[in-house]
């Protein structure tokens, strides 16, 4: 069965926070919250393209959903209810801040068929959160996560890598904490420097150096494996919370690549395949799941090209019974 997402962008127009990487305040004058008719049109257009049998989820993304005025939240949630009653949409997903969650907010979300709540945790290290001026504490992430799970929702925790004060060790710690808090899904965003942000000022003064692309790929590969090994679904690797708003002129610096996820999976496969004992007199046959074959070959065939320098010949074949990161290999003369 196909799983479709209908994305509805709801900017939080008056976010009172000052996260140093975010240009939401700058852009807030230039965008509006969508009207009911626009949302209905978007849903209907999406539904008309879905091929049955399918499961559809509506995702409110953008700012912090539970930070918008309560009557507006309800207005938005009410639009979706007839679709849920008719079975056209199965569930709703929202994203918000850890400190915008409490029992009464959760009761409302429950009453309107919200199933998944994603929190922007960004880091589970207090010094990283403080420097980024997130305005919440690690305990807020822990408490909100517990409340969300205890209330029967699916929890998603998003994280950023390469914020000021972050390190690969701290990002691994954050990922491990996300696993232990019971997240079912996650997103990994390398920090990008966007125009009209405090981070842009720091960058221009030389007080912040973003991760190089190669380093961001290695950090993300380490984190990806932690989530993969603990069955946390990785919904996104790459880009930034305000991704839909980034234009080339707004992006100043940072580990941005249109195929960032592919680069990360290429790195993971490079590390896995490197464990095969090298022998230039033998030919190597690698077997992977069909979906993983391209990643095992690598972005621009980088893994295959490297292996071809270490073996007489290299061949890839497929086996659907293998898991995503599983492989078999065979060496012959």
Residues that bind ligand SF4 (CB under 6 A): 12, 15, 17, 19, 22, 24, 63-64, 97, 241
Size of the chain, expressed as the number of residues it contains? 333
Give me the least distance between CB of 211 and ligand SF4, in Å please: 19
Alpha-carbon distance of 84 to 94, in angstroms, equals 16
Dihedral pair phi/psi, residue 79, rounded to 5°: -60, -35
64 or 145: CB nearest ligand SF4: 64
34 or 298: CB nearest ligand SF4: 34
Alpha-carbon distance of 56 to 309, in angstroms, equals 46
Give me the least distance between CB of 18 and ligand SF4, in Å please: 6
| CA dist 144 → 77, 99, 120, 266, 292 (Å) | 21, 7, 11, 34, 35
Give me the least distance between CB of 46 and ligand SF4, in Å please: 25
Give me the least distance between CB of 196 and ligand SF4, in Å please: 12
Give me the least distance between CB of 16 and ligand SF4, in Å please: 8
Dihedral pair phi/psi, residue 266, rounded to 5°: -60, -45
159 or 296: CB nearest ligand SF4: 159
| CA dist 158 → 119, 139, 186, 223 (Å) | 6, 16, 5, 12
Give me the least distance between CB of 332 and ligand SF4, in Å please: 54
Alpha-carbon distance of 209 to 193, in angstroms, equals 9
Give me the least distance between CB of 64 and ligand SF4, in Å please: 6
Cα R_g (the chain), whole angstroms: 22
30 or 320: CB nearest ligand SF4: 30
64 or 66: CB nearest ligand SF4: 64
64 or 222: CB nearest ligand SF4: 64
Strands of the sheet containing 311-318, edge to edge, are 311-318, 279-288, 327-332
12 or 267: CB nearest ligand SF4: 12
Q: Which residues, other chains included, contact 136 with Cβ-Cβ below 8 Å and sequence gap of 6+?
A: 97, 98, 99, 129
- The H or E element that residue 299 is part of is none
Distance of CA 91 to the CA centre of its chain: 19
């Amino acid at each position: 069965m196909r799983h479709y997402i209908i994305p509805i962008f709801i900017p939080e127009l008056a976010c009172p926070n000052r996260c140093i990487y975010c240009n939401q305040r700058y852009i807030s004058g230039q965008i509006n919250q969508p009207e009911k008719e626009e949302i209905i049109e978007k849903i209907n257009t999406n539904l008309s393209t879905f091929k049955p049998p399918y499961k559809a989820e509506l995702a409110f993304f953008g700012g912090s959903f539970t930070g918008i005025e309560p009557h507006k939240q309800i207005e938005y949630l009410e639009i979706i209810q007839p679709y849920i009653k008719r079975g056209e949409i199965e569930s709703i997903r929202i994203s918000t801040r850890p400190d915008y969650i409490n029992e009464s907010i959760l009761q409302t979300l429950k009453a309107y068929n919200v199933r998944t709540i994603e929190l922007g945790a960004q880091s589970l290290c207090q010094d990283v959160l403080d420097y980024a001026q997130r305005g919440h504490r690690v305990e807020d992430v822990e408490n909100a996560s517990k409340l969300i799970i205890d209330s029967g929702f699916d929890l998603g925790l998003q994280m950023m890598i390469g914020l000021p004060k972050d390190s690969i060790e701290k990002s691994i710690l954050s990922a491990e904490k996300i696993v232990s808090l019971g997240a079912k899904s996650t997103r990994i965003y390398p920090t990008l420097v966007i125009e009209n942000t405090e981070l842009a000022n720091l960058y221009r003064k030389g007080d912040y150096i973003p991760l190089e692309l190669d380093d961001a790929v290695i950090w993300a590969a380490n984190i990806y494996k932690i989530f993969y090994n603990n069955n946390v679904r990785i919904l996104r690797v790459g880009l930034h919370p305000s991704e839909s708003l980034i234009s080339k002129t707004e992006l100043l610096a940072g580990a941005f690549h249109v195929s960032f996820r592919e680069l990360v999976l290429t790195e993971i496969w490079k590390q896995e395949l490197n464990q095969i004992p090298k022998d230039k007199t033998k030919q190597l046959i690698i077997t992977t799941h069909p979906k993983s074959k391209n990643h095992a070959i690598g972005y621009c065939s980088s893994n295959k090209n490297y292996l071809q320098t270490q073996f007489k010949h290299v061949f890839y074949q497929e086996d659907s019974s293998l898991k995503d990161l599983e492989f078999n290999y065979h060496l012959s003369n």
